[in-house]
Amino acid sequence: MAELVIRGGTIIDPNGSHETDVAIADGRVVELGTDLDGDRILDASGCIVSPGFVDLHTHLRQPGREEAETIGSGARAAARGGFTAVVAMPNTTPAMDSASVVAEVLELGNGVSCEILASGAITVGREGEQLSPMGELADLGVNIFTDDGTGVQDDAVMRRAMEYARGLGVTLAQHCEVTSLSAGTCMHEGEWSTRLGLPGQPAEAEELMVSRDIALSGLTGARIHFQHLSTGGSVELVRAAKAQGLPVTAEAATHHFTLTDACVGSYDPVFKVHPPLRSSADVAAVRAGLVDGTIDAIATDHAPHTSQDKERPFDAAPPGMLGLETALALAITELGDQLDLDHIVALLSWRPAVIAGAADRHGRPVAPGEPANLAVFDPTATWTVDPADTASRSRNTPYAGRTLTGRVRHTLLWGQPTVIDGATTR
């Protein structure tokens, strides 16, 4: 008899959708069918059963900022959002630019509620000058390198990083921002920055680096992944690069297709992110990129901050907001009239799994023999976002009080429930 059966759900996976029970044993799916029985039954009536989600962009803050988040608390938040794997960003203290720090993160990730995929910094200290020991980090399993939080400014350093990345078979992920244009800014440059008297960052600060890295990808043949695209110009550049057949992928953060720079009108620092919230035209362009496949994945850019830090004046507060527990619901609520559920799940699951280099165990079909890394969610359930009801150590969500549609009921990691009926189990 199976150890666990998910009963009464509808599967959505890369092969399509169909109704069936799912039997699980020894961490894998062992049988599909009707009226299956097992030692434990998880009800999935009215729910979608899909491969677990993979977040390409999570800040776990450990080591160094454990008061805002730990790997354990971030993993619990991820599991509540249906994620079975997250890529941990390297802007920790110290930065994840050495084998010792990456090994520490991987060790801390053992036994938590989702798989922790460590990224590595492209440059030592994320300072953009000296390349990190990329080969050594790749030997530890690092598949994605990024200086996230800042972009590599020096053209020659970025070219050299791409040459190494191609040889190692890893992906470079870029936070695109030309600091000579963005220094001292705290929001998008436009009508609202003028109204509010806040220094604005032009869209060109992002688009110039996107353009440069597309050119360097063409020169070197290296894979480049663009993180949290936020402007219409960036989307168009990626669209053109893909049309040329270049090895380019991109993600959009949930806040960049759900919020605009008008939200900053309250001066509430919860709306401060990096890159900033953009205009309504940019938001429409990002949505169009998700619909037509220019943008490959939905990411969270989950960035927890303590209340003490986030309650500073807008221009002095750190950028970032929570994202792991609301990503699915925001996608269904905001994109449901443009994308069917199959497309939304693809953006959250198997497409990012490929980019993360984890497609051998995440984003897999729900079929006998496959890993039981699964999300079970009710696409019609409505709920109201409550910052106090989060697994994160921080509370900086801009969606407080907002009613969303779609909620994760269960999450399984290698067949073991990490979330049952919305509550974490570890």
Q: Does 301 participate in catalysis according to the annotation?
A: yes
The mean pLDDT value of the chain amounts to 98
pLDDT in tens, 196-237: 999 999 999 999 999 999 999 999 999 999 999 999 999 999
Q: Which amino acid is at 400?
A: A
pLDDT in tens, 91-109: 999 999 999 999 999 999 9
Question: How confident is the model at residue 326, as a pLDDT?
Answer: 98
pLDDT at 175 over 90: yes
Q: How far apart are CA 173 and CA 165, in angstroms?
A: 11
pLDDT in tens, 310-353: 999 999 999 999 999 999 999 999 999 999 999 999 999 999 99
Question: How confident is the model at residue 1, as a pLDDT?
Answer: 81
Of 55, 147, 301, 309, the active-site residue reads 301
pLDDT at 30 over 90: yes
* Strand partners for 95: none
The residue count of the chain comes to 426
Q: How far apart are CA 304 and CA 268, in angstroms?
A: 16
Q: How far apart are CA 204 and CA 183, in angstroms?
A: 13
Residue 172, SS3?
strand
Q: How far apart are CA 10 and CA 205, in angstroms?
A: 44
Q: How far apart are CA 383 and CA 136, in angstroms?
A: 45
pLDDT in tens, 72-84: 999 999 999 999 9
Pairing relationship of beta strands 248-253 and 297-299 according to DSSP bridges: parallel
Q: How far apart are CA 68 and CA 48, in angstroms?
A: 32
Arithmetic mean of pLDDT, 129-139: 98
Residues 6+ apart with CB under 8 A from 297: 56, 249, 250, 251, 252, 347, 348, 351, 352, 355
Q: For 358, phi and psi rounded to 5 degrees?
A: -120, 20
Q: How far apart are CA 233 and CA 281, in angstroms?
A: 10
What single string gives the DSSP state of each residue in 305-356? Answer: --HHHHTS-TTTSPP-B--TTTHHHHHHHHHTTTS-HHHHHHHHTHHHHHHH
Do residues 395 and 369 touch, judged by C-beta distance below 8 A? no
pLDDT in tens, 46-65: 999 999 999 999 999 999 99
Q: For 253, phi and psi rounded to 5 degrees?
A: -80, 150
In what helix (H) or strand (E) does residue 103 lie, and over which residues does it extend? helix 99-108
